[in-house]
Amino acid sequence: MTHVTSAVLAASMLMLLGALGIAGCDSSPGPASVQPKPTPVAATQKETQVKTETALFGAGCFWGVESTFRKVPGVIATAVGYAGGKKDHPTYEDVCNDETGHAEVVQVTYDPSKVSYQKLLEAFFENHDPTTLNYQGPDHGTQYRSVIFTASEEQKRLAAAEKDKRNTSGDYVGPVVTAIDPAPTFWPAEDYHQQYFEKQGYNWSCHTGNGKKRKVAL
């Protein structure tokens, strides 16, 4: 039988623990990999042949945001990445340093015959706190800002109308601070960030609350 030295055994254990480790929203769980294309949401062959549109949202840690949108019927594929910054090909480390101006975002590819952009806006607003500037839950920094990047005048119109409706509804604890900007270049995040919660076997989000006032039962 071949004997394994203590050093080799220790190194093997460290590699195993690293592979099984679960990182938080502010941690980098592994090395960068090949930049991915949007990953289908259990898409059938028929679904992949339909005419699709894309939407781009930033609502805090992109792990939870992507997980939310992947549950919306009519969403064909998703990809997490970075947008709205001043550096080409940013890395997760670049963005986490909060120096490049990028936001963590989710690119949503959807079938407009099954889900409207309006419905995606509603999912966006209902699943994060749009009243907090540059943070969501425990995550702080401009990379976690609430932002809608619009790809057309129609998306811009719908986003502005939805923000205005919510701002005047009286439902929120403060003003809705969500930015609405023209869609810039989308830089896909490293492969290990894509569908992160699914890879870890989780079904939860980093987000806490949606900024609405609590209703008191009479």
Active site residues: 61
Torsion of CA 106, 83, 59, 120, to 10 degrees: -50
What angle (nearest 5°) sits at the alpha carbon of residue 167, between those of residues 162 and 173? 130
CA 131 to chain centre: 18
- 74 contacts 114 by C-beta, under 8 angstroms: yes
Helices (H), the chain: 6-20, 62-69, 92-96, 117-126, 153-167, 196-200
Q: What is the DSSP letter of 98?
A: T
Side-chain-side CA neighbours of residue 75 (13 Å): 23
Burial 189-198 (b: 16+ CB within 10 A, else e): bbbbbbbbbe
Spatial distance between the Cα atoms of 122 and 125, rounded to a whole number of angstroms: 5
